[in-house]
């Protein structure tokens, strides 16, 4: 039997890209008995995803929830508002995140700096703090999984990405500290760092300019969000004593944040 049977999985940023594919992959892997709490700001998109999952996985209960992780009020009210049958969260996938622009200091818009940190860093930390008490209330010192989506950008900085890179470095640092802090429990703290993945990421970066976003992937074959989703579900599905603590996932043409082989 799958180790994921009966689990309650909470995914942030499930309306697009890696988060959406992760929801679908969990449902495919455990279609008979699973609960998915899918969160993002776009509730309509989450409802469409819930309908898509219902078509092939009748045993998966999906709860779409509108949640802006950058809002301390919304995150603060989140757990208390969960229906009773979804309160026992087993896995938190901290995936919501974004990049804004390619500006360099001193010309980075203050609002973009705030948005990136409030979403990628403060939001991820707030979600973690909201869910950890659920894990810690369990017997044997507590158990549950935290899977943080970092980035190659958190390991290596590049020009035009200073704030995004700093935000993902903060995720990495927080994740490492948390794993150390929780060592006496059975809580698993994991980080998955993708390289280039084609999602809405670059469209968001360029403020909706799809043409500009397309250029990022010209001559290269990026990862698909499904590729990353498979790694997330693999990590969550390991035996309880196995912690996929830290995974860096590149497409074959990529060897570093800015080292890519492009076909011309």
- Residues of the shown chain interacting with ligand NDP in the complex, contacts defined by CB under 6 A: 12-19, 40-42, 67-70, 95-98, 119, 123, 149, 151, 194, 196-197, 199-201, 204, 225
Nearer to ligand NDP, 10 or 40 (CB): 40
Catalytic residue, chosen from 164, 212, 214, 215, is: 164
Q: Which does 161 bind (CB under 5 to 8 A by kind): ligand NDP, ligand 8X3, none?
A: ligand 8X3
* Entry field: residues in the chain: 264
Q: CA 163 to CA 216: how far, in whole Å?
A: 19
Q: E-strand spans in the chain?
A: 8-12, 34-40, 60-66, 91-94, 143-149, 186-194, 246-249, 254-256, 259-260
Tell me which of 151, 175, 199, 254 binds ligand 8X3, using CB under 6 A. 151
Binding of ligand 8X3 by 153 (CB under 6 A): yes
Q: Tell me which residue of 63, 54, 12, 7 sits closest to 30, measured CA to CA.
A: 7
Binding of ligand 8X3 by 161 (CB under 6 A): yes
Binding of ligand 8X3 by 187 (CB under 6 A): no
Q: For residue 151, give the DSSP letter.
A: -
DSSP string, 74-143: HHHHHHHHS-GGG----EEEE----------TT---HHHHHHHIIIIIIIHHHHHHHHHHHHHTSSTT-E
CB of 77 to ligand NDP, least distance (A): 14
Candidates 35-43, 64-72, 74-82, 149-157 — which segment interacts with ligand 8X3 by CB under 6 A?
Answer: 149-157
- Would you please indicate which residues are annotated as catalytic (active-site) residues? 164, 168
Provide the binding-site residues for ligand 8X3, judged by CB under 6 A: 151-153, 161, 164, 196, 257
């Amino acid at each position: 039997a799958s180790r994921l049977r009966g689990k309650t999985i909470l995914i942030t940023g499930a309306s697009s890209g890696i988060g959406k594919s992760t929801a679908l992959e969990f449902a495919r892997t455990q279609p008979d008995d699973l609960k998915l709490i899918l969160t993002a700001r776009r509730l309509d998109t989450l409802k469409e995803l819930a309908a898509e999952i219902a078509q092939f996985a009748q045993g998966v209960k999906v709860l779409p929830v509108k949640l802006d992780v950058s809002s301390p009020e919304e995150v603060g009210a989140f757990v208390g508002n969960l229906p009773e049958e979804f309160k026992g969260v087993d896995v938190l996938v901290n995936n919501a995140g974004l990049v804004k622009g390619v500006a360099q200091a001193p010309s980075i818009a203050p609002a973009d700096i705030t948005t990136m940190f409030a979403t990628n860093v403060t939001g991820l930390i707030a979600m973690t703090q909201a869910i950890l008490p659920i894990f810690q209330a369990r017997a044997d010192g507590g158990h549950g999984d935290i899977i943080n989506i970092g980035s190659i950008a958190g390991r290596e900085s590049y020009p035009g990405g200073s704030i995004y890179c700093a935000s993902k470095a903060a995720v990495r640092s927080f994740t490492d500290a948390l794993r150390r802090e929780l060592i006496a429990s059975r809580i698993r703290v994991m980080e998955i760092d993708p390289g280039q993945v084609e999602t809405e990421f670059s469209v968001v970066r360029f403020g909706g300019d799809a043409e500009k976003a397309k250029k990022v992937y010209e001559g290269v074959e990026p990862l698909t969000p499904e590729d990353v989703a498979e790694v997330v579900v693999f990590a969550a599905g390991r035996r309880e004593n196995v912690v996929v603590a830290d995974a860096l996932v590149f497409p074959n043409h990529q060897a570093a944040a800015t080292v890519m082989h492009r076909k011309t």
